[in-house]
Structure 1
Amino acid sequence: MDATISPGLYPLHRCKTLHLVRHAQGVHNVAGETDHAAYSSEEYFDAHLTPLGWQQVDHLRNHVHATGLSKKVDLVIVSPLLRTMQTAVGVFGGEGYKDGIEVPPLMVANAGQSDRPEISSLNCPPFVAVELCREHLVCPAT
């Protein structure tokens, strides 16, 4: 029996590290700053990222790569909403997509009015969209 003292209840080499990332600025955030009711509007239900949101994505991507974290990510779990998928793919996706590569893109060019190039699925972790990762689940009126 190993008599060494462990800092936790479970050995660290058997643990996973979980990083939670909120989506970057979406058009609903901008509208919600002037009228809080916009957050409940159907118009903004599946909002896309703003240009500032894409800058936030680029900064986080640079940080994730500079720190080496990108090499340690085993799986990306994301909400199926456009703004969260754009954020996750922009941060953890592969490099720019090039025609002739035998892997499909994670994001096509200009997805969600992004004015961004395609993003490759090459050399990136797998992505899983989970409905229960959303902030609010809207129940239809009965």
Structure 2
Amino acid sequence: METTAAAPYHSNQKLVIHLIRHAHGLHNLESERHRDPLKRIQYADPELSPLGWQQVREQRKDLSASGLLERIELVVTSPLTRTLQTSVGIFGSPLKDENTVGNGYQNGIKTPIFNHPPIIASELCRERLSKGRSRGSISQCRSRFPQVDFSLIEREDDILWEADERESDESVAAKGIKFIKWLLARKEKEIAVVSHGVFLQQTLIALKNEFDSSIEEEFLTPLVYLFGNCEIRSLKFFRESVVRLGQDYKKN
């Protein structure tokens, strides 16, 4: 069971969180092709598009060059396919497949060998709940993504998506704050989170509302805009305040 109780947090402790939206998915491609929702193919759990895989390769290369890939101590991902693919593609160890050229190459791109961080899945950072959108069974997920730890997810099948109405912004924001508290209770000092645009945006809006009285508004205001696919924005937490480290505004 996922606990959200915050551990004692001392003034000299800090946590850096790198927020990442999943790469471009097949559902994003459908939205771009058809303005009319009735003409779109409806995906319950869409995978990444070819553009999305390209974004993953580029982001892994950029993070490797910057040294961030080696600093991340933990990756927390939504259990949906597009976030799992993004997480493993960026942070997982290189796997030998049709796109791999020898040891140390990922999709044809040379990447340094490093001890990749553990990747764990959490329902707390999944997308806005709505009918018709669901994750695969945990058995299927474990089979497809052996590098990911699914032990935090209690139910084999997804029951969260069965609500008749789309989850409200307020509910998503509350879930986001609960998730941040869970991260703050962990021992790691640098964590990557791979999630979804609405979840990340609503979480940052909630943080902005929470901390407006203690920090300058300029730090959080730019962060609440909708994330681009595979975009990274980073936050540093000190006890009861949060400041912006920086962000990648590259739109895809």
Match of 1:130 among 122, 132, 142: 122
More strand by share: 2
**C-alpha contact 2:25 2:48 (8 A) present in aligned 1:** yes
- Runs of 4 or more consecutive aligned structure 1 residues displaced over 6 Å after TM superposition: none
Q: Secondary structure at the match of 2:76?
A: strand
1:55 aligned partner: 54
Deviation, 1:130, is: 0.8
Judging changes above 3 Å, is the alpha-carbon distance between structure 1 residues 57 and 15 closer, same or farther for their aligned structure 2 residues? same
Q: Which residue of 2 aligns with 1:5?
A: none
* 1:140 is the counterpart of 2:162: yes
Change in 2 beyond 3 A, CA 1:45/1:72? same
Q: Structure 2 matches for 1:88-99, cutoff 5 A?
A: 88-97=87-96
CA displacement at 1:141 relative to structure 2: 5.0
Tell me the CA shift for residue 96 of structure 1. 2.7
SS of alignment partner, residue 62 of structure 1: helix
Unaligned runs of 5+ in 1: 1-8, 98-108, 110-114
- Label 1:125 to 1:37 Cα distance change in 2 as closer, same or farther (>3 A): same
CA distance in 1, matches of 2:121, 2:21: 14
| CA distance in structure 1 between the aligned counterparts of 2:116 and 2:36, rounded to whole angstroms | 37
Note closer, same or farther for the CA distance 1:116–1:81 as it changes in structure 2 (3 Å cut).
farther
Q: Greater relative contact order (Cα 8 A, min sep 6): structure 1 or 2?
A: 2
Q: Which amino acid aligns with 2:162?
A: P
After TM superposition, give the deviation of residue 136 of structure 1 in Å: 1.1
TM-score, normalisation: structure 2 = 0.40
- In structure 1, what is the Cα distance between the partners aligned to 2:15 and 2:93? 22
Could you tell me which residue of structure 2 aligns to residue 106 of structure 1? none
The range that moved more, 54-63 or 131-140, is 131-140
129-138 vs 60-69, which moves further? 129-138
Correspondence for 1:37: 37
1:7-62 per-residue CA deviation (whole Å, 9 max, x = no partner) reads xx932xx2121000000000000101224637x97x31210111110010011000
Distance across 2 between alignment mates of 1:27 and 1:141: 23
| One-letter amino acid of the counterpart of residue 26, structure 1 | G
Partner of 1:10: 11
RMSD: 2.6
Aligned partner of 1:102 in structure 2 is none
Sequence identity, in percent?
42
Instruction: Report the counterpart of residue 19 of structure 1 in structure 2.
Output: 18
Distance, in Å, in 1 between the alignment partners of 2:163 and 2:69 is 42
* In structure 2, distance between residues paired with 1:65 and 1:21: 15
Task: Check conservation: 2:31, 2:37, Cα contact below 8 A.
Answer: yes
Partner of 1:101: none
Query: In structure 2, do the counterparts of structure 1 residues 36 and 88 end up closer, same or farther at CA, with 3 Å as the change threshold?
Result: farther
Query: How many aligned positions are there?
Result: 111
Q: Which runs of 5+ in 2 are unaligned?
A: 1-9, 101-105, 107-113, 131-160, 165-252
